[in-house]
Copies of this chain bind each other. A is one copy, B any other.
Amino acid sequence: MPPLQVVHPTPSDIEIAQAAQPVPIATVAERLGLEDADYEPYGHLKAKVRLEVRDKLADVPSGKYIVVAGITPTPLGEGKSTTTVGLCQALGAHLGKRVITCVRQPSQGPTFGIKGGAAGGGYSQVIPMEEFNLHMTGDIHAITAATNLLAAAIDTRMFHEATQSDDALFNRLCPPDQNGGRRFAPVMLRRLAKLGITATDPNQLTPEERSKFVRLDIDPATITWRRVLDTNDRFLRAITIGQGPAEKGMTRGTGFDIAVASEVMAILAVTTSLADMRERLGRIVIGSSRAGVPVTADDLGVGGALTVLMKDAIQPTLMQTLEETPVLVHAGPFANIATGNSSIVADQIALKLAGAEGYVVTEAGFGADIGAEKFCNIKCRYSGLSPDCMVIVATVRALKMHGGGPPVVAGKPLDHAYKTENLDLVRAGCVNLARHIANARAFGIPVVVAINRFATDTDAELEVVREEALKAGADEAAVAQHHGLGGAGAVDLANAVIRTCQKPANFEFTYPLDLSLKEKIEAIATKVYGAASVEFSPEASVLPSCGLQAEAALESYTRQGFGGLPVCMAKTQYSFSNDPAAKGAPSGFTFKVRELRVAAGAGWIIAVCGDMSMIPGLPTRPAYYEIDVDPATGRVLGLS
């Protein structure tokens, strides 16, 4: 492999990405020991890897499992994805280790909006960055299709139930053949079992059983299933549907979320097999009947079709870094409403492909209080895996903000404090880092702090962070410069990770599943966030078709049988508390939970803690103003 040709000053991400010469994905696959039948090419630079690879390698010892998390994020950006990629380039291309990077697929929405792409940055990127950021291998499109098919099934069913008699519904759901015989579709047997009806011949149902079978009797006020698009379309947040004349006045308030916020995406991230995904999709709860019984996708007859739409999406996508190391891109669940972690199956495949001497580096979204907490308490609980090391990414600039530095405003020049040495601000901000380190240790995971160096950082500032990290209990702390140097800039970090992975881990969850929902939420809020207490607010949701008011929901979800699920917190990423302005390491506060939703398919209760947009908007000058194609070469211009 040719060494990376690094240029100073660092060119734009897309310039670096497009100047790179990726090797054919078949070469990347071959180096991993994959055979032709183990993957399906999508063009010459992407491939989908079959789940069977994991099962074929079941007897191979797994590699070391490293999760990359961050301090509490700030508008300055901490470079977590970039560090994840740079660390792997160092391990693979500079230290000769077998390494696989596992990252999330980004939503396409922000690519055209304000954020730009998400393939890392500088000389630490996944390439081709255009393909990583757009369409990729269609997984998010499949999620959109599945989510919206289920939504269409809900409103259509309510419409047909409202306009037809029991007999008419029954005749349509189980139409007679020429001899008057009828049959249940296989999916209907699931609903019959739920209703406790044992008849296998539709003609044997009593009139009461027929009625129970054909009438889901969905209470429109309880519907939490929203439609999705992978577009930043804020005008779809709250809408009224069914206003066409043919829909006979059956209007309803609802809305769209961004596709990555969908429960189908959440399911993709935590499923462990095609059979498991089929069951999870069928179990999705879309709302309740008027009698208070949860209504599922399988009650609507659509669980199998959702699985068919998702059957290719369950295969992770193989790509490569700028230094030809392999990357598995898979799932990209929203980090507030869902886990914010890439898929279990990608990590499982990667650990087997890495083998005993290898390394798998996976990234957790947002700060460690959200991404790593969910990684441990949800993802690892469902995967059965546990990490050997947590990397916590910090920057001098962000720590200064946590230490009381002035606000950062987009479009305004950065304050002097962030560009010149200020050891006191840095040291004050290290309380944030220290809290995240303590949390990692509470999970029983050895910790390496990655100090992502910026040009304005001074050696003394970096040293403060290192000192404070070790004092807070980190096993190691290393400065990294992978943005400007690629893997060569992260060799120290990689060596620290290698050493730390040799240390014993003693992984444990924050809470056992048999606590009540209330106790589980309290455990996360007090142990991980530093709250003194939790308040379950009586405020209702602002948008239609969201969750249930929190206090009532604790009781009703428990009664419906969901009390044994883990809890997925939906809170601001900008603070340990509910208040995004509370930087550093706030403590003693009352943590507020506004509403709960059940994600029965994904397998958790969502605790919504404050307002959060489930579909971003576009700014006045969206990124799309610069995006175009050079018609002569087909090259994409202006992606960032």
Contacts and interface: CB of A to CB of B under 8 A. Distances in A.
A278 B620 contact: no
Contacts of A303: 628
B620 A169 contact: yes
A384 interface: no
B156 A618 contact: yes
A238 B244 contact: yes
Contact of A230 (B112, B145, B227, B542): B145
Interface string A149-183: 10111011001100010000100110100100000
B237 A244 contact: yes
Interface in A280-324: 301-305, 307-309, 311-312
A270 interface: no
A543 to B, nearest CB: 6
A279 to B, nearest CB: 9
A436 B490 CA distance: 72
A243 interface: yes
A241 interface: yes
Q: Name the residue among A164, A172, A620, A625 with the largest chain B CB count within 10 angstroms.
A: A620
Contact of A178 (B252, B413, B618): B413
A273 interface: yes
B235 A152 contact: yes
A135 B138 CA distance: 8
A622 to B, nearest CB: 7
B155 A235 contact: yes
Interface of A: 40-44, 48, 108, 112, 130, 134-135, 138, 141-142, 144-145, 148-149, 151-153, 155-156, 159-160, 164, 169, 172-173, 175, 178, 185-188, 227, 229-247, 250, 252-253, 255, 273-275, 278, 301-305, 307-309, 311-312, 411, 413, 542-543, 613, 617-622, 624-629, 631-632, 634, 636-639
Nearest to A48: B43
Nearest to A636: B308
Nearest to A314: B634
A274 B634 contact: yes
B242 A305 contact: no
| Closest 3 pairs between A and B when the two form their complex, measured CB to CB | A304-B628, A275-B631, A141-B141
A375 to B, nearest CB: 27
9 contacts: A156-B617, A175-B621, A187-B628, A237-B246, A238-B244, A244-B543, A246-B617, A274-B629, A308-B629
Given A155-B233, A186-B628, A238-B245, 20 more contacts: A41-B43, A42-B42, A112-B305, A135-B145, A138-B138, A145-B230, A152-B231, A152-B618, A173-B621, A234-B246, A237-B244, A237-B246, A239-B242, A244-B255, A245-B542, A274-B631, A301-B625, A305-B628, A307-B628, A308-B636
A231 B142 CA distance: 12
Contacts of A305: 112, 624, 627-628
A542 B275 CA distance: 45
Contacts of A173: 620-621, 625
A629 B304 contact: yes
B156 A229 contact: no
Q: Name the residue among A178, A231, A235, A309 with the largest chain B CB count within 10 angstroms.
A: A235
A545 to B, nearest CB: 12
B624 A149 contact: yes
A148 B233 CA distance: 8
A531 to B, nearest CB: 27
A629 B149 contact: no
A130 B227 CA distance: 24
A145 B620 contact: no
Contacts of A187: 625, 628
Contacts of A138: 135, 138, 141
Contacts of A236: 227, 241
A39 to B, nearest CB: 10
A542 to B, nearest CB: 6
A149 B43 contact: no
Given A138-B138, A238-B244, A244-B234, A278 B42 contact: no
Nearest to A152: B233
Contacts of A145: 108, 135, 141, 230-231
